[in-house]
Amino acid sequence: MPCLNEEENLPGVIDSLPRVLRGFDQVEILVVDDGSTDHTAEIAKNKGVLLISHITNRGVGEAFRTAVDYAIAQRYDVLVNIDGDGQFDPDDISRIVQPIVMRDSEIVTGSRFIPGGQAVGISSTKKFGNRMLANFISFLVGHKHYDVSCGFRAYSREALLRMNLHGSFTYTHETFLDFAAKNYAITEIPIRVTYFPDRNSRVAGNLAAYAIKSFKILARGYRDYFPLKFFWGISAILLILGGALIAVFFALYVATGLFSGNLYLGFSGAFFLSLGILFFVVGLLADMLDRTRTNQERILYILRSSGGSIPDKDEWNYS
């Protein structure tokens, strides 16, 4: 559980978490305290669960990566991510992990918006925003998804070893790009989520800021994971625009027999055509660099698998 100032809700959530799950010999609870200024860390200690604390607030994306690193170091078979605010139903954990236990999937995410899922008390604005974001990411990855923002998920050890995320603000959206680039399918399981009217989301409290930060993560992720599509898509737009302006320029010349008065169309068209060609070349270069990224991720996978890149349990020291 990544937590930030959850002293009010954390005790009840910890008490409600299952200590036994079918298909597992052992269940451990890890709280990643992301720089809380209340008694969140003290409560976690008193409850006897595992605790890693960030001295300063780094963002839920960083908190999640801390949990991933720890899970890899301890050679966990499955990592389940659930929030500490009590919105999710811990009874759904057994359903979330079953596709992994049955080896039907490597990544499972809870979904509020597929048949059988429920988002009790969600505002119409958030529901609309989630739908638009899900449609956008589905378009980017070429596979239909209904809920890309849910923070209730399960990852197999193989998925954790393959994962390579960068965003500190959030991780939920970037995960879809990362695994789509690696040809891993993400399974959606219907869950029930309860929204409390007296609480504001710490991640999506300001919808405008949330949209801007999420777009930055998605743009960077799509650029890195799908560089050819990213740069050639921009190139295609510029080439079409430049070609259209040039076509209008010559059409006017044929109609009037004069260049004067329309030169701005020719210059503008040439400018956009030049930019389009530039982005086309950049796309080729970025695609070459993508091979380097892929090889580096393979090396990271080998190091993680052998335990060579993650500190042992006694060496954890976060500040």
Look at residue 50 and tell me whether its pLDDT is greater than 80.
Answer: yes
Mean predicted confidence (pLDDT) in 33-61: 92
Residue 95's pLDDT band (cuts 50, 70, 90): very high
Question: Which of 188, 196, 192, 195 lies closest to 117 in space, CA to CA?
Answer: 192
The Cα 218–Cα 215 span in angstroms is 5
Residue 206's pLDDT band (cuts 50, 70, 90): low
pLDDT of amino acid 205: 56
The Cα 238–Cα 273 span in angstroms is 6
Mean predicted confidence (pLDDT) in 287-313: 78
Residue 315's pLDDT band (cuts 50, 70, 90): very low
pLDDT of amino acid 301: 86
Look at residue 101 and tell me whether its pLDDT is greater than 50.
Answer: yes
Q: What would the two tokens of residue 315 be?
A: 């060496």
Question: Which of 204, 194, 203 lies closest to 86 in space, CA to CA?
Answer: 194
> 127-131, 198-202, 299-303, 311-315: which range is least confident on average?
311-315
The Cα 289–Cα 106 span in angstroms is 27
pLDDT of amino acid 166: 81
Residue 97's pLDDT band (cuts 50, 70, 90): very high
Residue-averaged pLDDT of the chain: 88
Mean predicted confidence (pLDDT) in 208-221: 83
> 123-132, 173-182, 223-232, 282-291: which range is least confident on average?
123-132
Angle between helices 263-306 and 207-225 (to 10 degrees): 80
pLDDT of amino acid 319: 38
Mean predicted confidence (pLDDT) in 124-139: 90
pLDDT of amino acid 191: 94
